[in-house]
Structure 1
Amino acid sequence: MLRRQVVICNNPRFVQEAFVKKHANFQRKTPQMRMALQPLLGDGLFVSDQEVWQRRRKIVAPIIHTSRLRDFAPVMIETACEKRAEWRGRGDGAAIDALAEMAHLTAEIICRTIFGRDLGQTYAAEIVEAFSDYQRHVDQIDLPSMLGLPEWLPRWRGRAVKRSVRRIHAVLDEIIDGYAARQSNGESSVIGGLLDARDDDGKPLGKDAIRNEAAVIFMAGHETTANTMAWAWFLLSQAPWAANRLHTELDTVLGGRVPRLDDVPQFPYTRAIIEETLRLYPPVPILGREAMAADRFGNTEVRKGALVLVVPWLLHRNPTLWSKPDHFMPERFLPGGDGANQSKYGYVPFSIGPRICAGLAFGLNEAILCLAVLAQEFALDLAPGKVVEPVCRLTLRPGDRLPMTLHPRKP
């Protein structure tokens, strides 16, 4: 493409080579991704590489590790229950934008877990609006890099992008500056973890580093889960048999009570719905890397600077790996299905290898718990005449809106 070689890996063997065996040469994100996000994320984990990435990964991963789910799950459940209560007041057949509803829900959750309950509720709307504004105006293609121009060449940034960055950074700086006075309340939060963190030399993170990592966690944890939830509602609206099985599982396990984190292992079908949604509509449909040196995949020579793309959108629909690859079949992720038996390099909604998403457990459990809370009492139908088509920007969305109608159900 123009002056860049592009290599697409669409089988587990070469996914493993690119992201695991040859990670050292393919750890760097594409110039497009870095140029699009560096104004906002700085040297944050999502766009950094080599020594900076290694140091930050050691610090950030434990803060959002699986072991911290017990701290964060109550916030997820509490926020989902608030959304459910809000839906109760709207009445049978109420029209909603499911994409916007899920975006609001996941933004509240991520804000409260990053900043703590009080600050999360205070700043959620401001942060969400500023992030949405940034995504609307950021360039989708870095043309200079595709033409082979050097990265030190300044990129033009529109006023809207600069305004959004200033707005987000100002809010994050204000939160970080004021957080120390609140640490005595004992509440667990990501900001608290970042402030307490020390590197291998015992040094704390600087203020800019804390701000950058908080921005990364918000960006990665908000929109990706919101899109997954929206896609799940759409798919369930088209598969009433799957919705019925989901409701039966929730009614049987919960008997009308609120879900808990300990219930998640008892939700195999709920989990399968989320996993199948991630297969069909992976939140990040293209995982790009830049070759730091010349290399080879099989008979293919890879030039230095080439773009190496693992494309979950293609990989997850590869007919040599999946039966009926374009069908919505949650059962494939139950024991014995081709999803349950799939190579871990053939199913990569959270990436794979050293750069696998540090928030994998957080995002997956969040989606399962939120679906359980909401589907306990509601079914959603797609608005008549609506045709849903995927739109890929930084993430894969069901268009700009997902009009659906709410229908209360009785367990």
Structure 2
Amino acid sequence: MTQASDVGEDTSEAVGSYVPPYPSRPDIQPSVLELISLARRSLLSVWTLPSFSKPWTKITILRRMLFICNSPATVQEAFVRKHAIYERKSPQMRHALEPLIGDGLFVSDGETWRRRRQIVAPIIHASRVPAFFPVMAETIAERRSAWAARGAEAPTDVLQEMAHLTAEIICRTIFGRQLGRDYAAEVVESFTDYQRHIDQIDILSLLRLPDWIPRLRGRAIKRAVKRIDTVLEEIISSYESRAGGGETSVIGGLLDARDEDGRPLSRQAIRNEAAVIFMAGHETTANTLAWAWFLLSQAPSVRDRLHAELDAVCPDRDPVFEDIARLPYTRAVIEETLRLYPPVPILAREANRDDKIAGVAVPKGSIVMVVPWLLHRNPTLWERADHFEPERFLGGARGGQSKFGYVPFAIGPRICAGLSFGLTESVLSLAMLARAFDPQLEPGTDIQPVSRLTLRPGEQLPMRLRPRGG
């Protein structure tokens, strides 16, 4: 367990400050096999303590060169100014997700990505969030009632609870209220199985073997994909047969959408984009909320200030959409959680031609990475970088950082299209549940971050559901 003192930071306590643990290893160069073994257990395990403060790193694994951008200048250069060179996701990411989402927006590139982005972005744009807000609030209220029915101090796996909550929200907004209720649990279980079994390291890609060489997939992965295919096909067919019922939903938007040439999306494209939106909107938000509950349980002064804001803005009712802008501290808790525990801790792209970044040669085929896990804790960018201090996100300074130093939703043209949806969902969920409950971590529980496709607090987060004022 490594704390801020190991990085050489000031560890004197400040109001609202909590120093969360994170895994690290000594600055000893492991062998390639040791490095691959570490990465297979958790992608965070490969970084040494000095990695957090280095602005630029180059390493070679097998036959593949990797470059890590860890400063606002290099992030902007690679992912914004030179987006056309680094638009393609890494082979590892593509091969890990293609069985699940096909040519969906998250892994596509070139003309396919451009056309899909033009279609999908307006469907989940910030301007559409108010229409989805009632479904979010309704679903959160149901989860809160279920918590209340368990009784005071009920032991609860909050990670699982947040997974089911966000799955219900995303299912109901993608598929409509009734279809979302019917299928949410099935889709969640299938996605969880998929992530549990997918390999984190693509050895063939590190050896620079061509993409057309098939990657071996176990029966568990094929079974999970088949279950998701079956559910999505049933949902799309059910929606078409009901003509949507006049309800706002993402599926309805995808079915009605036309590209710039007036062509509708194919059935497979609709299925793939629905899978992308579910994956991005469910898993990442669930992890963010789970981490927020963990951090709040360790920082009483932050929790007290959060409760004070909620009691002042909505003392005897749930927040309405207009209240979200009046909950800056609640949002700051979410943003600080995203800084410390970014749900996608590694963003990796493949260079499509020879280039230079910061004057360093980057050969074609190299992997260029922005690692929010490192960038967000870089002590040269963030004061008290390893402390949980939501106050740094109050006001208009974004923690005092360039926007290229804080990238929980990626940056540049490939920034997450559902950013506003996800932030609103997170703030509303935290606000509605924290009005009634103050979850406390089970004594003796050791929480350590584990990164596979996303960053999770292990496999479970055992807490007690303490009612407010109890």
The verdict on a shared fold, with TM-score over 0.5 as the criterion, is: yes
Shift of 1:392: 0.3
Distance 1:270 1:40 in 2: 34
Match for residue 390 of structure 1?
A: 449
Does residue 73 (structure 1) correspond to residue 126 (structure 2)? The answer is: no
In the TM superposition, residue 175 of structure 1 has moved relative to its aligned partner by 1.2
Q: Distance in 2 between the 1:60 and 1:184 partners?
A: 18
- 1:279 corresponds in structure 2 to 339
Superposition pairs of residues 61-210 of structure 1, within 5 angstroms: 61-183=121-243, 185-210=245-270
Query: Following TM superposition, by how much is the alpha carbon of 1:178 offset from its aligned partner in structure 2, in angstroms?
Result: 2.1
**Helix, strand or coil at the partner of 1:252:** helix
**Corresponding residue for 1:225?**
285
Answering whether residue 400 of structure 2 is matched by residue 341 of structure 1, we say yes
Shift of 1:184: 5.3
Q: Take 1:285 and 1:136, find their aligned partners in 2: how far apart are those partners?
A: 17
Residues 405 and 203 (structure 1 numbering): CA distance in 2 closer, same or farther, change over 3 Å?
A: same
Deviations for 1:202-234, whole angstroms, at most 9, x for unmatched residues? 010000000000000000000100000000000
Corresponding residue SS for 1:5: strand
Alignment counterpart, residue 103 of structure 2, candidates 39, 43, 46: 43
- For residue 348 of structure 2, give the secondary structure of its aligned residue in structure 1: strand
CA–CA distance in structure 2, aligned partners of residues 342 and 244 of structure 1: 26
RMSD: 1.1
Residues 1:359 and 2:418 aligned together? yes
Percent identity of equivalent pairs = 66
Task: Count residues in correspondence.
Answer: 410
Partner amino acid for 1:113? T
Question: SS of the counterpart of 1:301?
Answer: strand
2:215 partner SS: coil
Distance, in Å, in 2 between the alignment partners of 1:57 and 1:371 is: 30
User: Are 1:318 and 2:378 counterparts?
Assistant: yes
Instruction: Check the 8 A contact 1:276/1:328 in 2, yes or no.
Output: yes
Equivalent position SS for 1:8: strand
Instruction: Check the 8 A contact 1:380/1:407 in 2, yes or no.
Output: yes
4+ aligned runs moved over 3 Å, structure 1: none
Aligned mates of 2:160, 2:120 — CA distance in 1: 29
Q: Does structure 1 conserve the Cα–Cα contact (< 8 Å) formed by 2:197 and 2:220?
A: yes
Q: Is the 8 A contact 1:390 1:396 kept in 2?
A: yes
- Distance (Å, rounded) in 1 between the aligned partners of 2:425 and 2:213: 41
- Aligned counterpart for 1:332 among listed residues 392, 399, 405: 392
TM-score, structure 2 as length reference: 0.86
- The one-character-per-residue Cα deviations of 1:119-172 (angstroms, maximum 9, x if unpaired) are 000011111111111111111111100011111111111111111111101111
Unpaired runs of at least 5, structure 2: 1-60
Report the Cα distance in structure 1 between the residues aligned to 2:446 and 2:186, rounded to whole angstroms.
31
| Aligned 8 A contact 2:309 2:327 in 1 | yes
**Once the two structures are superposed, what CA deviation does each residue of 1:300-331 show, in whole Å capped at 9, x if it has no partner?**
11011001000001100111111100000000
Query: What is the aligned partner in structure 1 of residue 77 from structure 2?
Result: 17
Residues in 2 aligned to 1:254 and 1:45: alpha-carbon distance in whole angstroms: 38
Distance 1:233 1:346 in 2: 24
Q: TM-score, normalised by structure 1?
A: 0.98
Give 1:181 shift: 2.4
SS in structure 2 at match of 1:408: coil
Rounded Cα–Cα distance in structure 1 between residues aligned with 2:106 and 2:151: 41
The offset of 1:336, in angstroms, is 6.7
- The range that moved more, 74-83 or 182-191, is 182-191
2:244·2:252 contact (CA, 8 Å) conserved in 1? no
Superposed counterparts of 1:46-61, under 5 Å: 46-61=106-121
Code of the aligned partner of 1:53: W
2-structure distance, mates of 1:174, 1:130 = 15
Equivalents in 1 of 2:332, 2:128: separation in Å?
23
Determine the C-alpha separation between the residues in 1 that align with 2:123 and 2:155. 38
**Contact 1:256/1:376 (CA < 8 Å) preserved in 2?**
no
Q: CA deviation at 1:404?
A: 0.6
The CA distance in 2 between the partners of 1:407 and 1:177, in whole Å, is 43
Q: 1:256, 1:314 → 2: CA distance?
A: 41
Give 1:177 shift: 1.6
